[in-house]
Amino acid sequence: MQQEDFVECLKGIGEKTAKTFAKLGIFTVRDLLHHYPRDYELFSPPVPIGALKEGSLAAIEAGITACAEVKRVGERVVVSCNVRDASGLIHLTWFNQAYLKNVLKRGIHYIFRGKVVRRGNTLVMDQPKLYKREEYRKLLCVLQPIYSLTAGLTNHTLQKAIDQTLCMVEFPEDYLPKRVVKENRLIARKAALREIHFPKAKDTMIEARRRIVFDEFFVFAVRMRQLKENRRKEKNHFHFCQTNGCEAFLENLPYQLTPGQEKAIEEIRRDMAGEYVMNRLIQGDVGSGKTVLAEYALLLTATNGAQGCIMAPTEVLARQHYEAMKRAFAPFGVRVLLLVGSMTAKQKKEAYAQIAAHEADVIVGTHALIQEKVNYQKLALVVTDEQHRFGVRQRDSLAGKGEDVHVLVMSATPIPRTLAIVLYGDLDVSVIKELPAERLPIKNCVVDTSYRPTAFHFIAKQVADGRQAYVICPMVQESEEVEAENVLDYTERLQRELPENIVVRALHGKMKAAEKNDRMERFASGEIQVLVSTTVVEVGVNVPNASVMMIEDAERFGLAQLHQLRGRVGRGAYQSYCIFVNGSQDEKSRERLEIMNRSNDGFYIAGEDLKLRGPGDVFGVRQSGELQFELADIYRDAEILAAANVAVGSLSLEEYEQICTKIEKFF
Ligand code: ADP
Ligand code: MG
């Protein structure tokens, strides 16, 4: 059996089971092997009945005291019986397993394993599984895999199918050079797959995991190297020279560029005039001023007679860029066009026509830009803003809209350097280290809910001084399950508690796009002074006049997210404030929020967040699809990532080429 064979080739897997497998994305036996356990279960020795605790999952070894009873309760058949050991007696029940009546005979001993629950005054075991003593002994103290399932599929079926596959499938020779295997002390791939599904012990499972994670990173790094080499070879057909328009644009900026911005502009200018196309990442913390760099590149493109586009992750942000660029580019006769999902079919059709006829020079939009119907006449530059919200693939499909186009991506994700090198391995990197000089550092405070009246008073004072404020709530409306502040009720309350002349409005994801845009625009223009919002304002939005950010139930957010939210203020010359309201009594939450209090530095916060929360979606990178690994976790496994990257870098050209072909067969 080969890895590419379909699961139907396994014994006991017919068309029907294959269909349920397909629901989990499992088609071939390789997919099956890559369906890693989501957890493991440890079977522990049986305990005396007298020692059972409510709520626990436990095993007992006991004898049946009388034949099982069968009752009908509504639609269901309930089988029950009493069992006893030296320490006591317990009642067991099963639903819809009538056949058990013939199994549960008086005097027979079994090991029963199930959840202990309280019914009335007594403890019972619900739906326990039955094992013969010998059978249970084999399971004892071995980690049993637990898989993600779907309706109609049991853990047992999956286990059996995977076990069968492991016995029958032929693996090609290891794709990794022996040297790499040895240097990294890796176990064989085949052994690793067996161990990850059916580990003999915890430490062998960890070794197995390390091998598989290494493979995932290694393959990723190889693919990035391929991407990089392909890109390198792309000749630049768009040699853009500095134009009068660009000179004027830079001269007339209302501020002095920071050294980081200056350097990035220089790099962009050199790239776009160079021999090969530009592939550049701009990395800079929130508020470091990345937009102006995109504007420069777009203007350079447009004034050289070609088209450029910029993709933003949300419509709110796309519209904001659109308005800003329309204004900024008007003096140079550059035509800016908006393309977003909420436009009517007719509006979109018109936009497509203008793009195709090169009646638009700069196109600003969302995912709508990578729709099939969009055809550019002379696309030379694509920019993605907030790249971490997109996947590598989306970046690529936007670039695919033109031939050998310049690529500029912007990201504020404070990721570790080792990761950035791999993740953006195909890009040159410009880092903006500093914030604009005249920025006053944001003043922070962490408070509890009793501080609210003071906070409202403060907001009123700031508004009286001409400033604006955001208040963030985790929920849109009241919910029975979650006790947290919600935008709708909060807006009403705030309108009541603040002086009447202050305009308070709500903004949230459930609103129609047009309504959202309208609210956002009215906030940007100063007509709305206090915006009560969910995290929809989190990415990129720029209202420099806003000076207060108040975050309710702040403990519910990740630190990186809080940092992004805080980044909405302190974007102008005014002293800004961020108020983190801790809605819980929890000491841990307070400790975590104190990190925000201590520092305004995204990198520092990211590091601390990692230490506290451990692995996981610290920056939402995993959710965003930027990096979709099956088992690997870019934070927890950062060391393996670095090792895999070093290994890929150490390959000789010959080894590298061999590996590229082998990988295709192997994975
Ligand atoms: P981000 O890097 O988060 O995308 P923006 O590009 O939106 O930041 O810039 C934030 C704000 O800072 C904007 O109002 C912008 O006009 C302003 N800004 C950008 N560069 C400078 C600078 N060198 N000096 C002062 N203000 C600047
Ligand atoms: Mg931005």
pLDDT in tens, 340-399: 988 999 999 999 999 999 999 999 999 889 888 899 999 999 999 987 777 666 777 787
Write down the pLDDT at residue 625. Answer: 40
Higher pLDDT, 321 or 517: 321
pLDDT at residue 623 tops 60: no
Q: Among 295, 330, 306, which residue's Cα sits nearest to residue 240? A: 306
Write down the pLDDT at residue 417. Answer: 62
Cα–Cα distance, 507 to 486 (Å, whole number): 11
Instruction: Give 547's contacts (C-beta < 8 A, 6+ positions apart).
Output: 462, 467, 468, 469, 569, 570, 572, 574, 575, 576, 577
Q: Can you give the pTM of this predicted structure? A: 0.67
Please provide the average confidence, as pLDDT, over all residues in the chain. Answer: 88
Higher pLDDT, 39 or 457: 457
Percent residues over pLDDT 70 in the chain: 94
User: Which tokens in the block code for residue 620?
Assistant: 């939402």
What is the sign of the dihedral through the CA atoms of 212, 218, 221 and 225? negative
Mutate-to-test residue for ligand 1 from 249, 286, 290, 291, highest number of ligand atoms within 8 A of CB: 291
Q: Check if 290 has its Cβ closer than 6 Å to any atom of ligand 1.
A: yes
Q: Check if 546 has its Cβ closer than 6 Å to any atom of ligand 1.
A: no
Q: Are strands 362-365 and 307-311 parallel, antiparallel or unpaired?
A: parallel
Confidence of residue 617 (pLDDT cuts 50, 70, 90): very low
> What value does the mean pLDDT take over residues 120-128?
89
Confidence of residue 626 (pLDDT cuts 50, 70, 90): very low
> What value does the mean pLDDT take over residues 590-599?
90
Write down the pLDDT at residue 285. Answer: 84
pLDDT at residue 584 tops 50: yes
Atom 4 in ligand 1: which residue has the minimum CA distance? 290
Mutate-to-test residue for ligand 1 from 314, 389, 542, highest number of ligand atoms within 8 A of CB: 542
Distances (CA, A) of 576 to 286, 367, 442, 547: 14, 33, 5, 4
Give the lowest-confidence range in 208-222, 375-389, 411-425, 538-552: 411-425
Cα–Cα distance, 636 to 661 (Å, whole number): 30
User: Which tokens in the block code for residue 566?
Assistant: 């805080």
Write down the pLDDT at residue 619. Answer: 37
Q: Check if 534 has its Cβ closer than 6 Å to any atom of ligand 1.
A: no
Q: Report whether 258 contacts 432 (CB < 8 A).
A: yes
Higher pLDDT, 55 or 609: 55
Atom 20 in ligand 1: which residue has the minimum CA distance? 289
Q: How far is the CA of 239 from the centre of ligand 1 (A)?
A: 28
Task: Quickly count helices (H) and strands (E) in the chain.
Answer: 23, 21
Say how far residue 523 (Cα) sits from the centre of its chain: 29
Within 233-358, residue ranges assigned H as helices are 244-251, 259-273, 291-303, 315-329, 345-356
Nearest ligand, measured from the Cα of 255 = 1
Backbone angles phi, psi at 253, to 5 degrees: -60, 140
User: Which tokens in the block code for residue 585?
Assistant: 């009594």
Write down the pLDDT at residue 370. Answer: 85
602-607: Cβ within 8 A, 24+ apart: 602/285, 602/286, 602/412, 602/414, 602/560, 602/563, 603/285, 603/414, 605/414, 605/559, 605/560, 605/563, 606/414, 606/415, 606/416, 606/559, 606/560
Confidence of residue 180 (pLDDT cuts 50, 70, 90): very high
Confidence of residue 232 (pLDDT cuts 50, 70, 90): low
Q: Which atom of ligand 1 is nearest to the CA of 258?
A: 23
Write down the pLDDT at residue 416. Answer: 62
Write down the pLDDT at residue 621. Answer: 38
Neighbours of 628 (CB within 10 A): 15
Q: Check if 416 has its Cβ closer than 6 Å to any atom of ligand 1.
A: no
> What value does the mean pLDDT take over residues 519-546?
90
Model pLDDT for residues 9-47, shown as the tens digit of each residue: 999 899 999 999 999 889 999 999 999 998 888 888 999
Q: Check if 542 has its Cβ closer than 6 Å to any atom of ligand 1.
A: yes
User: Which tokens in the block code for residue 175?
Assistant: 């794709």
Write down the pLDDT at residue 611. Answer: 63
> What value does the mean pLDDT take over residues 507-531?
91
Q: How far is the CA of 343 from the centre of ligand 1 (A)?
A: 28
Neighbours of 457 (CB within 10 A): 12
Q: Among 313, 257, 389, 375, which residue's Cα sits nearest to residue 541? A: 313
Write down the pLDDT at residue 59. Answer: 94
Confidence of residue 483 (pLDDT cuts 50, 70, 90): confident
Write down the pLDDT at residue 418. Answer: 63
Q: Check if 436 has its Cβ closer than 6 Å to any atom of ligand 1.
A: yes
Model pLDDT for residues 48-90, shown as the tens digit of each residue: 999 999 888 899 999 998 888 899 888 888 999 999 999 999 9
Nearest ligand, measured from the Cα of 293 = 1
Q: Check if 308 has its Cβ closer than 6 Å to any atom of ligand 1.
A: no
Residue type, 381: L
pLDDT at residue 95 tops 80: yes
Q: How far is the CA of 571 from the centre of ligand 1 (A)?
A: 7
Q: Which atom of ligand 1 is nearest to the CA of 544?
A: 14
Q: Check if 250 has its Cβ closer than 6 Å to any atom of ligand 1.
A: no
pLDDT at residue 620 tops 90: no
pLDDT at residue 608 tops 80: no
Higher pLDDT, 612 or 362: 362
Cα–Cα distance, 442 to 568 (Å, whole number): 11
Q: Report whether 142 contacts 199 (CB < 8 A).
A: yes
User: Which tokens in the block code for residue 32?
Assistant: 């099956």
> What value does the mean pLDDT take over residues 509-528?
90
Atom 23 in ligand 1: which residue has the minimum CA distance? 257
Write down the pLDDT at residue 615. Answer: 40
Greatest Cα pair distance in the chain: 97
**566-594 as b/e, with b when 16 or more CB fall inside 10 Å?**
bbbbbbbebebbbbbbbbbeeeebbebbe
Neighbours of ion ligand 2 (CB under 5 A): 540
Q: Check if 387 has its Cβ closer than 6 Å to any atom of ligand 1.
A: no
